[in-house]
Structure 1
């Protein structure tokens, strides 16, 4: 009997240890490491891109990674992720949070948790200047490019029955296909469209009907409530101090784009 009792106790101890590891508090791990590892995308100026002079990753998302980490008393480390690979990498635990142009969708919210919204975007479609397309239903039967795995791809599929969706590896590749007339238009964010318009050799216009008004939050692994709360506290501190507004003006002020939102729960913006 002693043998069985000892064996049972050993198995129970292993099970308990495994349970503790599986449900470890991510915030505790992050604090112990002293570093917040942020997954960022690198092909979406001004959110995340490589500075040609310094070769460093810079942008709106990178500044928010650093800002949140700073308010948590941590160092920030940015790790490039692809649009389609960002959620799998978060769920695998190789990164702590996503600050990666991650628009809120119901499907994503079933896989991960979201922080409060630190950016609010309009998802739109651009077409050739003079195309005459004024409504989304005018895109039916047209070839429209998107970045693979992006929310633009999802919204286009949902909003425009009959569209021929052409997915590319990243946003610049999708725009190049549009410039080269391989597609009839492109789905992207309003800010990205303005950035492209400044340097585009091709004249284009925005379809007046938006695909979606979309809040962006930091992505956090499901169930990590302590980390989510700490991130939200940090975001609120950035808003209160005026740092959030300064980051916005740094990256969008030159384009004459006015900040029309404040950091708030994503639910505030989902009805729009």
Structure 2
């Protein structure tokens, strides 16, 4: 049996297993089949992972991965038409919206960690991120040890806020409502540094008026698996999504989609982020897993 046929058969089997299971806490597949709609959580300014190109239009690495998953959901539910509804989420509301069923699958830039696994489930990771610090090139700042007495921005509800506090650098903390605002604080001088996922910072810098004015510090504050978020307690839906993600990794599609968004011009300005896949991201493609951040740090 060819790989594509195996994937389709496995996905269909997962759906049939779901239909035959009783007492499932969450019936995401049944909900999708009955409504003909799948609701996708997206971000509007999460670097090349998930961003908007206009009203109601979203794209990026994780959004495209989810489009592939949705194609498998459509096959499994045997729907002739499956409407995709985009729901904009923020760091503050993304977990509650998955928990209460407003969002079926969240495709932004959410870190899979042990605390969040108590509330939601995650698909296998296809992108391992390093949280870093952006500063202005002329600032003279070369290390986080030089942030004492400085003002440092981070996005509310992100893991970067906790990392900033752990630095204990006596820096003044300034929180932004989203990543765009965080970079704007750096851009207009209200903040001396902005802490966020490395790819978000690299994308924002590449899209700025003068990218040469900014740089990323070499120090990586935390290694974090960024993964697609799912409802907790829905084994059949997670199995289907997991199989879809694993097949994307094993076929090499994940790597090709990565290159499209991080090494080639992306819309709407056709800028190049210029971030080759790290060895940890390549390792995630070779052996897809939904293990939390804490297990990465323990390596």
Question: For this structure pair, what is the TM-score category when the shorter chain's length is used for normalisation?
Answer: 0.7 to 0.9
Which sits farther off after the overlay, 112-121 or 153-162?
153-162
Partner of 2:74: 73
Task: Name structure 1 gaps, 5 residues minimum.
Answer: 1-19
Partner of 2:30: 28
Structure 1 residues 21, 42: closer, same or farther in 2, change over 3 A? farther
Counterparts of 1:55 and 1:96, CA distance in 2: 17
Counterparts of 1:186 and 1:113, CA distance in 2: 29
Counterparts of 1:189 and 1:200, CA distance in 2: 20
1:238 aligns with 2:248: yes
Cα deviation 1:169-206 (Å, max 9, x = unaligned): 11111111111100110011222222222334471222
Structure 1 residues 227, 162: closer, same or farther in 2, change over 3 A? farther
Q: Is the 8 A contact 1:134 1:209 kept in 2?
A: no
TM-score by length of 2: 0.75
Q: Is the 8 A contact 1:216 1:266 kept in 2?
A: no
Partner of 1:178: 186
Partner of 2:15: none
1:130 CA displacement: 4.2
Partner of 1:46: 48
Counterparts of 1:55 and 1:112, CA distance in 2: 26
Structure whose CA Rg is larger:
1
Partner of 1:265: 289
Which sits farther off after the overlay, 156-165 or 186-195?
156-165
Partner of 2:7: none
Task: Name structure 2 gaps, 5 residues minimum.
Answer: 1-21, 76-81, 265-271
Counterparts of 1:251 and 1:84, CA distance in 2: 26
What RMSD in Å do the two structures reach over aligned CA positions?
2.4
Partner of 1:8: none
Cα deviation 1:54-100 (Å, max 9, x = unaligned): 86222112211111111233644322112211111111111112111
Partner of 2:12: none
TM-score by length of 1: 0.82
